[in-house]
């Protein structure tokens, strides 16, 4: 389970976040490309935009559920 006390600093404010356990596997960026991006310098993903529609929120939840290291969290649920 993602640790809300260990969020990467590049996440935009909001309920979804990525923590420092991210292994840069690209799954979240493929699942929800409008919401996740890659920090190229340090090699991890982060939330670049919080979901604005239910469809985006579902894709973020899918990414969270499928993350192999459980690095994606949601403070809103």
CATH number of this structure's domain 4-74: 3.30.70.20
Structural element, H or E, at residue 72: strand 72-74
pLDDT of residue 71: 98
pLDDT tens figures, 37-76: 999 999 999 999 999 999 999 999 999 999 999 999 999 8
* pLDDT tier, 77 (very low <50, low <70, confident <90, very high otherwise): low
pLDDT of residue 11: 98
- Residue extents of the structural domains in the chain: 4-74
pLDDT of residue 76: 86
């Amino acid at each position: 389970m993602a640790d809300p006390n260990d969020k990467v600093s590049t996440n935009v404010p909001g309920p979804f976040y990525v923590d420092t356990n991210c292994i840069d596997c690209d799954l979240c960026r493929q699942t929800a490309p409008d919401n996740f991006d890659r920090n190229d310098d340090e090699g991890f993903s982060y939330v670049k935009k919080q979901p604005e529609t239910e469809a985006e929120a579902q894709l973020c939840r899918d990414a969270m559920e499928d993350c192999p290291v459980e690095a994606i969290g949601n403070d809103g649920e």
